Amino acid sequence: MPDTPGDFDYEATLAACAAGDRNAMRRLYEQEGARLLGVALRIVRQRALAEDIVHDACVNIWTRAASFDATRGSARGWIYSVVRNLALNAVRDANRHVDVDETTTQALEADMSVQAYHAVEETFELNANLGRLQHCLEGLDSARRSCVLHAYVDGCSHGEIAERLGAPLGTVKAWIRRSLVSLRECMA
């Protein structure tokens, strides 16, 4: 039966995994496997995909256990971040790929209506906006650009960004606020 999270030594278990102890990985999976599956399932909403993500996460944890740095956070948090990031990547990848069957393709080709024309036009406009956003981001200095990307792409809190960049929290908040104003002006 798994220990309560407070009784389980995650750091020692990761160190044992880094040393090649397969039993440590087994113990870690027995301890957290069900909860890791729950995290993945809440994000991807497909059990088979969530199980694949937990499997891939276990492989990543096993192979990257030596890269865990206790000064940057807890071992348990690191383990969950591996699962969370893989699940979010799976959702992003799924959103990029759209299956279109032959019937749909034929219907679209047969009915190139005004609505279809506007949809294509909106796609081109979206791509133009993404290009403009990229240009505007490149106009920011590197520290401010990093803050914006960490906040809105990586999903980091202001405190996490401050820690990563080694900058005061107030400075990071000001950089993000000013950068957003600059981006709005540039995109207008």
> Which is higher by pLDDT, 153 or 67?
67
Joined together, the tokens standing for residue 15 give: 């160190």
Which ranges in 19-113 belong to alpha helices (H)?
Answer: 22-44, 47-64, 75-96, 102-110
Compute the average pLDDT of residues 118-132. 57
Contact present, 42 and 84 (Cβ < 8 Å): no
Between CA 78 and CA 3 the distance in angstroms is 18
All structural domains of the chain: 10-96 (1.10.1740.10), 112-187 (1.10.10.10)
pLDDT tens-digit profile of 6-48? 689 999 999 999 999 999 999 999 999 999 999 999 989 999 9
What single letter denotes the amino acid at residue 61?
I
Residue 108 CA, distance from chain mean position: 34
Between CA 89 and CA 82 the distance in angstroms is 11
> Which is higher by pLDDT, 131 or 111?
131
Q: Is 53 helix (H, G, I), strand (E, B) or coil?
A: helix
Q: So what's the pLDDT on residue 187?
A: 79
Compute the average pLDDT of residues 80-101. 80
